[in-house]
Chains A and B, each alone.
Chain A
């Protein structure tokens, strides 16, 4: 019982929106698709829903052709990143709409719609029009309309992106509970935020420029991104990459900066590499003099954009502190946390997984 995409190509005016995408979605699975904007996430969902026809490839559900089934005959539900509801209908009628179209009697449709509205916390708003709701409530109505159908395939396209921070946190937690209950459905959830993808998904799919570049368990992908591109997408801010080499028993970075070789890189032969280090694995108080290009405060952390002989990089400092632009700070690199990539960008060695 699975939805299988094979070699799906979608091009518009010679620009590849989906480039030879092959994926298998199993029933009961919660898949998060992580990628930056224009990575092809939305196009992937639209292709599954039937809103966009691929030029090439096959799409089957449970072994049967799904590609040529019209949208309204597919049992899919979708939540867009914009909150789309029917403005002429009340909240209750909005949620009951798909049921009524499926031939469910009015009374039962109403009852089931109320159940779902209760689940998304909108039980007292059923007589309102969507325009009389806040953004978060409108998105809940859209979510309720998607859930009420008990569709075989539930597609969510960055559903939290237009909400403010607090609502996003709150809905994300609720999503976890709601999705746990969708055992006989395939849930596909797209996002640009690594944290969201890792927190929600059972399976993670990373997309870039229309292609799937890695898939697997979220933490496994996080701990061992297959390429530099994957590593940059799954880390926010993107992982720092330094060009360098392993020579004479040390890691040599540009500007003659030497680091000891950590145990997990000990087996590597001499040669040139790209070294990756997460922003949280750099700290102040080392020996590498770096110039502050930009300093921003995010929550209780300070994000420093720095430049040094080893290249430009970003550092996460716990706590809020002021750094004048142009001033110099001393930086320490945690060599135990270094990833080694080949010059082409493929992962060669990753640090051991630390429990935390």
Chain B
């Protein structure tokens, strides 16, 4: 009975793992193929089943007629995503700490309403925001620029950052803050010396959410840029001309997924190591 359970368990894990991993394997093999290798049915073993080629990868760094250079979009995407995430997390963490620890009241508007107001911005479909964002950036002269995109992404990421951090701070016992005050910290000192170091897991999760959303967003990257500035998701889609170049599409897909995979692995370690155990009982 127990061994049957084990077999079923591992079968389920295997099934799920293949759902997750096989598309990557497919993309990896495809990225080393040429048009001959792609059209000849499903093949997986290089040299035996198909002749491997670096053509798909070379397209990504080549400029001019036969290539689309994704190096510049990659760097732009990295700058926009990291700046916007950093700004959002700094502002969001501060806002969240305030919302978690102090009571605000403006008429009938209370803390929970403010928190909901933050997350409510993420409830409406993004397309509603496209035209206002476009007009605002146009007014500021920031259309098709990296600072303009950073601004837009901060507006999009800040609610996520705040929301994640409010939830996290609500789970950090306020007695810790009080203890820090009693131990001689002023409120800012208590936040920096005690609350922040103990909030690393929350900051990591919030940061991961921000980076994931910013890095993967296609819609705003597409609607708010024309020619000067291009972000990675748009560049990847732009590869797709009259003939679909499956090999370079696969290669670019792997390139755009790789940073997130690495970040997720790093963050995962933080999540399992840090927690509030030992703070209070």
Contacts and interface: CB of A to CB of B under 8 A. Distances in A.
Does A pair with B?
A: yes
Interface of A: 49, 51, 70-72, 76-78, 80, 82-88, 97-98, 101-102, 129-133, 135, 138, 145, 149, 162
Contacts of A133: 278
Contacts of B277: 87, 131
Q: State which size class the interface on B falls in.
A: 20 to 34
A82 B175 CA distance: 9
A129 B186 contact: no
B182 interface: yes
11 contacts: A51-B182, A70-B186, A71-B181, A82-B281, A83-B281, A85-B278, A85-B279, A101-B185, A102-B184, A130-B279, A132-B278
A51 B190 CA distance: 14
B194 interface: yes
Contacts of A77: 182
Contacts of B173: 82, 84
Given A77-B182, A86-B179, A88-B194, 12 more contacts: A72-B182, A72-B184, A78-B179, A84-B179, A84-B279, A86-B198, A87-B279, A101-B183, A101-B189, A130-B279, A131-B277, A135-B281
A78 B280 contact: no
Interface in B151-180: 173, 175-176, 178-180
B198 A78 contact: no
Contact of A138 (B183, B276, B281): B281
A145 to B, nearest CB: 7
A98 B189 CA distance: 12
5 shortest interchain CB distances as A-B pairs: A131-B278, A101-B184, A130-B278, A131-B277, A98-B183
Contacts of A87: 198, 275-279
B197 interface: yes
Contacts of A49: 182
Given A51-B181, A145-B183, A86 B280 contact: no
Given A51-B178, A71-B181, A101-B185, A86 B279 contact: yes
Nearest to B197: A88
Contacts of B183: 97-98, 101, 145, 149
Nearest to B276: A87
Contacts of A80: 175, 179
Contacts of A129: 278
A72 B180 CA distance: 8
Contacts of B186: 70, 72
Nearest to A83: B281
A84 B184 contact: no
B182 A71 contact: yes
Given A51-B181, A97-B183, A84 B197 contact: no
A205 B278 CA distance: 33
Interface centre among A49, A87, A97 (most CB of B within 10 A): A87
A218 B173 CA distance: 35
A59 to B, nearest CB: 16
A131 B278 CA distance: 4
A162 B274 CA distance: 25
Interface in B89-103: none
Nearest to B198: A88
B249 to A, nearest CB: 45
Interface centre among B179, B197, B280 (most CB of A within 10 A): B179
A72 B179 CA distance: 10
Interface in B249-281: 274-281
Nearest to A91: B278
A51 to B, nearest CB: 5
Contacts of A72: 181-182, 184-186, 189
A40 B219 CA distance: 57
A70 B185 CA distance: 10
A78 B182 contact: yes
A97 B181 CA distance: 11
B281 A162 contact: yes
A135 B280 CA distance: 10
A84 B185 contact: no
A264 B276 CA distance: 59
Interface centre among B173, B183, B197, B281 (most CB of A within 10 A): B183
Contacts of B181: 51, 70-72
Contacts of B194: 86, 88
A113 B118 CA distance: 44
Interface centre among B184, B275, B277, B279 (most CB of A within 10 A): B184
